[in-house]
Amino acid sequence: MPSFDLTVNGRAVSVTVAHDDVPLLGVLRDALGLLGTRFGCGLEQCGCCMVLIDGAPQKSCAKPIWGVAGKSVTTVEGLGTPERPHPLQRAFLDEQAGQCGYCLSGILISAKALLDRNPEPTRAEIAKALDENICRCGSHNRILRAVEKAAALARGGEP
Amino acid sequence: MTALTGALAEHPALDQWVGFPAPGQVTILTGKVEIGQGVLTAMRQLAAEELDVAPARIAIEAGDTDRTPNEGFTAGSQSMQFGGVALRQACAEVRALFISHAAQKLGCGADELAVVDGRILRKGVATGEDYWTLASAISLAAEATGAARRKPASTYQVVGENAARLDLPAKVFGAPVFVHDMTLPGMVHARAVRQPRRGATIASIDQAAIHRAARGPVDIVRHGNFLAIVGADETADETAVEAAAVAAETHVTWAGVEPINPARQHANSLLQQPTIDRTVGPAAASAPGATHYEATYSRAYLGHASIAPSCALAEFRDGHLTVWTHAQGVFPLRAALAQSLELDPKNISVRHVQGPGCYGHNGADDAAADAAIIAMQRPGTPIRVRWRRAEEFAFEPVSSAMVVKVRAALDAAGRPADWTAEIWSGTHSARPGSGNLLGAQALPAPPPDHAPHDVPDAGGGGAVRNATPLYAIPAKRFIHHLVPDTPVRTSALRGLGAMPNVFAIECFIDELAERAGEDPVAYRLAIAADPRVRGVIGRVAAMAGWQAGLPSGSGRGRGIGVARYKDRAAYAAVVVELEADETIRLLKMWCAADAGLVINPDGAINQLEGGMIQAASWVLREQVQIDSAGIASRDWETYPVLRFSEVPEITVELLPSADDVPLGVGEATAGPTAAAIGNAVAHALGARIRDLPLTRERIMATLLSSE
């Protein structure tokens, strides 16, 4: 069975899979037990499975594991913890930005990718960056406000 | 003395609702479940308020057939209005019971005692007694009597304050909270191979081809015409099962599958179908000389389009079936499973676990049935079924298309004196409870098909929900044409018939206002008698800076829509501002709502706003596509929904209310939003589109024909 080395949330891992085209999402969830990255469609259409690969937001549900070998993957678990939340996570809670919450892992990752390259995005720029993610409950405006707030928090440094 | 109603009347024993498991701790139990609407957060606020304990002391158990009261479905914007009110009364009864015991023990009058965070105070001084010191001597098996007085709303400290959602932190940190994230020791993955239609039979199975596609150890399990791919053991990963299930779509052939006429995907095809008819309301008076006006509106079939496909786990061990599901009703699902699987309900436990937002009857129950059927074939092995995305789009029950024809006789001032709404629709009620589970239809002895029916009017109606305008009109009636035969399975979606009905009514009102040469807001205020209706209209017009007399056809438009959901839940009025040419761009939406007693204002606003955005998506983008094989829109490209860049800014205000009963908000804004968009588009274009969704093709056709 093929084996691949990669970095996940800053940790070097080696995974053995049944086939080299198993999707990254399956590896994260089943082999590594990182259940924060959600399955939404398997078609790269909804953004629930968004992760950072070498800093770029990528859908993981149909991305073969062989293409991720040697790369660095960040999932929602890599953003922060309840004890040390990422500014985005703090802002999402402050703004109560979510309903069912199934889309949030992917949205947080897309938002992190945006803030990493543009620390002062406009509402329109945030919306455009999140167009790869579907929110079905209608929490869009809260989510946009939360990303704006996180940007401000991040610029102001960690209080 | 309050007469016990609803779930508390059915489950009067107080220990069905409240427990004191350990010093300093309170448990509340509810049959309502968290579906992303924040219901458990609001339930905790109600209980904390009425018990006089800090919210943080309270743990909640929800939706478990072994533990919680049977409160039917978490649906219909009823959770707070009925479930919350039941829990609140139960908590009031518990507090009264403890106060009365404490008074006896302390030898004082009950009226000298108060509860502060669970501690009993006498004239403001600690007594050393609290809920937990007294709990061992008090039996909560006692029944609610209705005698306990609730706290007056004027003294509320927790209810009415914003409370952070209890479920949100775990979701923001990516914790495994969804049923999709559950695993059980020894669990194997499984997928059903869907019977294309009720009655279809398996003609052939190319087992070798399916096994080749799996590239892993899978079994093909057959029970009647129910076919499933099941991991042969724990080493069969989900990918193998999924690949085999995809392959089975080509390598299993079926007999007895009649092709569907694709024209039936259009709402107007309902007019050609046999119907079951009834009229509710006074006979139409003949009004010679009166002006008559008529218009016909329609809406396509809509999907729930949950963000993720349905999932469930099931285990059949020692004659007992346990099912973990994100379905909206654990008790109705248990009843349906019992019937379909010929088990005694007492040998079935159904437990709710959170899932993706469902907005009604999606595939959740059916996925649970799949898991249960397979688990029965594999006793002792926990089974996990997760539907595929295409399966959810193609096999979930969808919301029926509807046609609504409105006729009015107008008085001399151009206002409606007589009103008829004529409605064609499939059913909005095919929830489980009476055996309607997809997988069960493929079993050797499938449960009988339903007799045609819809939600009874007493329950708010299905197709006729909100069919009657809330204005003061001397004679109003509706004619309901139930279409028993729809091309695909239909059931409950957020608001049922309310959205198409309110869209039709409120667009028609705008058309009447235009004929009368009146401003839409002024016209509505002239015919609205209910002060709460007038209240939300006036407030939303003020919020939006509504100006009468803005010219139509400028490419920029604004529109209003108003309704009281189900004639018994929250009132909501919505104004939408937009630009329209070949496409529609929403600029801003406002909502004023009267939701009675609001438990968690931020939670209520989140629900109202979510309903507005979802309705905007329905109106601008959504329609289920049907071809000869069934539902053809099986992904997010063929079933597009509104994306972030298309969502406008929204302002929602809750009007103050003297009510001490909460009015459900979850479904209150969909109809008003749909109508406000329809009216705004008509204002922007100078021409009206009466069929939903408002596609580019329809806009172009309307512009061409109005030139």
pLDDT confidence of B435, banded at 50, 70, 90? low
Average pLDDT, chain B: 95
Is A137's CB within 8 Å of B610's CB? yes
Phi-psi region of A13 (alpha: psi -120 to 50; beta: other; left: phi over 0): beta
Instruction: Give the model confidence (pLDDT) of B88-145 as tens digits.
Output: 999 999 999 999 999 999 999 999 999 999 999 999 999 999 999 999 999 999 999 9
CB contacts, 8 Å: B359 with chain A: 136
Q: How many CB atoms lie within 10 A of CB B123?
A: 9
Q: Do B87 and B43 form a contact (C-beta atoms < 8 A)?
A: yes
How many whole angstroms separate alpha carbon B310 and alpha carbon B315?
17
Structure tokens at B438: 């997809």
For the stretch B259-285, what's the b/e string if a residue is b when 16 or more beta carbons lie within 10 angstroms of its beta carbon?
ebeeebbbbebbeebebeeeeeeeeee
pLDDT confidence of A159, banded at 50, 70, 90? very low
Asked if the bond preceding B693 is cis, omega within 30° of 0, the reply is yes
Is A134's CB within 8 Å of B643's CB? yes
- Identify the sign of the CA torsion B502, B507, B512, B513: positive
End-to-end CA distance of chain B: 66
Is B644's CB within 8 Å of A130's CB? yes
Local structure of B647: helix, strand or coil = coil
Local structure of B43: helix, strand or coil = helix
CB contacts, 8 Å: B607 with chain A: 99
pLDDT number for residue B77: 76
Is A46's CB within 8 Å of B307's CB? yes
pLDDT confidence of B433, banded at 50, 70, 90? low
How many whole angstroms separate alpha carbon A57 and alpha carbon A79?
13
Instruction: Give the model confidence (pLDDT) of B62-103 as tens digits.
Output: 999 999 999 888 888 788 888 898 999 999 999 999 999 999
Radius of gyration of chain A (CA): 15
Instruction: Give the model confidence (pLDDT) of B331-359 as tens digits.
Output: 999 999 999 999 999 999 999 999 999 99
How many whole angstroms separate alpha carbon B491 and alpha carbon B570?
23
A42, A100, A131: residue with CB nearest B36: A100
pLDDT number for residue B707: 66
pLDDT number for residue B75: 83
Local structure of B387: helix, strand or coil = coil
Is B237's CB within 8 Å of A139's CB? no
Question: What is the value of pTM for the model shown?
Answer: 0.97
Structure tokens at B368: 């649970």
Percent of chain B with pLDDT over 90: 91
How many whole angstroms separate alpha carbon B231 and alpha carbon B132?
49
pLDDT number for residue B2: 67
For A3-78, CATH number out of 3.10.20.30, 3.40.190.10, 1.10.3720.10, 3.90.1150.10 equals: 3.10.20.30
Is A46's CB within 8 Å of B636's CB? yes
* Residue B328 at interface with chain A, using a CB cutoff of 8 Å: no
Q: Which residues contact B59 (CB under 8 A, 6 or more apart)?
A: B25, B26, B27, B28
CB contacts, 8 Å: A108 with chain B: 172
Q: Do B629 and B260 form a contact (C-beta atoms < 8 A)?
A: yes
Q: Which of A140, A144, A145, A147 to mutate to test the interface with B (most CBs of B within 10 A)?
A: A140
* Residue B357 at interface with chain A, using a CB cutoff of 8 Å: yes
In B348-474, which ranges are E strands?
348-352, 383-386, 402-410, 416-425
Q: How many CB atoms lie within 10 A of CB B408?
A: 25
Instruction: Give the residue among A116, A113, A122, A117 at the shortest CA–CA distance from A144.
Output: A122
Local structure of A136: helix, strand or coil = coil
Q: Over range B610-637, report the average pLDDT.
A: 98
Q: Please provide residue B198's backbone torsions phi and psi, each rounded to the nearest 5 degrees.
A: -55, 135
How many whole angstroms separate alpha carbon A59 and alpha carbon B576?
34
* Residue B206 at interface with chain A, using a CB cutoff of 8 Å: no
Q: Do B427 and B435 form a contact (C-beta atoms < 8 A)?
A: no
pLDDT confidence of B236, banded at 50, 70, 90? confident
CA–CA distance from B431 to each of A22, B450, B592, B659 (Å)?
37, 11, 32, 32
Please report the residues numbered 216 through 245 in chain B whose beta carbons come closer than 8 angstroms to any beta carbon of chain A: 216, 237-240, 242
CB contacts, 8 Å: B306 with chain A: 136
pLDDT confidence of B432, banded at 50, 70, 90? confident
Place of tokens 């995907």: B265
Q: How many CB atoms lie within 10 A of CB B250?
A: 11
Instruction: Give the model confidence (pLDDT) of B292-335 as tens digits.
Output: 999 999 999 999 999 999 999 999 999 999 999 999 999 999 99
Place of tokens 């007694």: B129
A36, A45, A136: residue with CB nearest B174: A36
Using CA atoms of B210, B215, B219, B225 in order, give the dihedral in degrees to the nearest 10: -30
Q: Over range B615-628, report the average pLDDT.
A: 98
Report the gap between the CA of A40 and the closest CA in chain B (Å). 4
| Residue ranges per structural domain of chain A | 3-78, 87-155
Nearest CA in chain B to A37: B174
CA–CA distance from B100 to each of B24, B47, B69, B519, B520 (Å)?
20, 19, 26, 60, 57
Question: Is the predicted pLDDT of residue B559 greater than 50, yes or no?
Answer: yes
Structure tokens at B655: 């009007």
Who has greater pLDDT, B660 or A106? A106
Q: How many CB atoms lie within 10 A of CB A64?
A: 15
Q: Please provide residue B421's backbone torsions phi and psi, each rounded to the nearest 5 degrees.
A: -110, 125
How many whole angstroms separate alpha carbon B432 and alpha carbon B366?
9
Question: Is the predicted pLDDT of residue B46 greater than 80, yes or no?
Answer: yes
Is B388's CB within 8 Å of A42's CB? yes
Sheet containing strand B348-352, edge to edge, reads B218-223, B226-231, B188-193, B383-386, B311-317, B320-325, B348-352
Q: Identify residue B542 by its one-letter amino acid code.
A: A
Report the gap between the CA of A79 and the closest CA in chain B (Å). 8
Structure tokens at B9: 């009347």
Local structure of B381: helix, strand or coil = coil
Local structure of B535: helix, strand or coil = helix
Name the strand (E) or helix (H) holding B119. Answer: strand B119-122
B164, B174, B603: residue with CB nearest A77: B174
CB contacts, 8 Å: B600 with chain A: none
SS3 of chain A: helix, strand, coil, percent, to 5? 40, 15, 45
Question: Is the predicted pLDDT of residue B13 greater than 80, yes or no?
Answer: yes
Q: Identify residue B252 by its one-letter amino acid code.
A: V
Is A141's CB within 8 Å of B650's CB? yes
CA–CA distance from A159 to each of A76, A154, B455, B608 (Å)?
22, 9, 54, 33
User: DSSP characters for A37-100?
Assistant: SPPS-SSS-S-TTEEEETTEEEE-TT-BGGGGTT-EEE-GGGT--SSS--HHHHHHHHTT--SS
Instruction: Give the model confidence (pLDDT) of B251-264 as tens digits.
Output: 999 999 999 999 99
Instruction: For the domain made up of B186-257+304-395, give the CATH fold.
Output: Aldehyde Oxidoreductase; domain 4 (3.30.365)
Instruction: Give the model confidence (pLDDT) of A47-67 as tens digits.
Output: 999 999 999 999 999 999 999
From-to residues of CATH 3.30.365.10 in chain B: 6-152, 186-257+304-395, 402-428+463-706
pLDDT number for residue B705: 87
* Residue B183 at interface with chain A, using a CB cutoff of 8 Å: no
Nearest CA in chain A to B636: A45
A42, A93, A103: residue with CB nearest B307: A103
Lowest mean pLDDT among A32-41, A136-145, B657-666: B657-666
Tell me the ipTM for this assembly: 0.98
Q: Which residues contact B597 (CB under 8 A, 6 or more apart)?
A: B153, B159, B160, B657, B659, B660, B661, B662, B663
Is B647's CB within 8 Å of A85's CB? no
CATH 3.30.365.10 fits B402-428+463-706, yes or no: yes
Question: Is the predicted pLDDT of residue B434 greater than 60, yes or no?
Answer: no
* Residue B360 at interface with chain A, using a CB cutoff of 8 Å: no
* Residue B587 at interface with chain A, using a CB cutoff of 8 Å: no
Q: Do B447 and B504 form a contact (C-beta atoms < 8 A)?
A: no
| Planar angle of CA A43, A44, A46, nearest 5 degrees | 100
For A87-155, CATH number out of 1.10.150.120, 3.30.1330.10, 3.40.50.300, 3.40.50.150 equals: 1.10.150.120
Question: Is the predicted pLDDT of residue A87 greater than 80, yes or no?
Answer: yes
Question: Is the predicted pLDDT of residue A29 greater than 90, yes or no?
Answer: yes
Is B164's CB within 8 Å of A93's CB? yes
Please report the residues numbered 619 through 678 in chain B whose beta carbons come closer than 8 angstroms to any beta carbon of chain A: 635-637, 641-645, 647, 649-650
How many whole angstroms separate alpha carbon A150 and alpha carbon A130?
15
Report the gap between the CA of B332 and the closest CA in chain A (Å). 22
Q: Do B187 and B241 form a contact (C-beta atoms < 8 A)?
A: no
| Planar angle of CA B355, B356, B360, nearest 5 degrees | 95
Name the strand (E) or helix (H) holding B210. Answer: helix B207-214
CATH code of the region B6-152 = 3.30.365.10
Instruction: Report how many Cβ contacts below 8 Å link chain A to chain B.
Output: 172
For the stretch B209-220, what's the b/e string if a residue is b when 16 or more beta carbons lie within 10 angstroms of its beta carbon?
ebbebbbbbbbb
Instruction: Give the residue among B179, B187, B216 at the shortest CA–CA distance from B63.
Output: B179
Q: Over range B386-404, report the average pLDDT.
A: 98
Q: Do B406 and B504 form a contact (C-beta atoms < 8 A)?
A: yes
pLDDT number for residue B371: 98
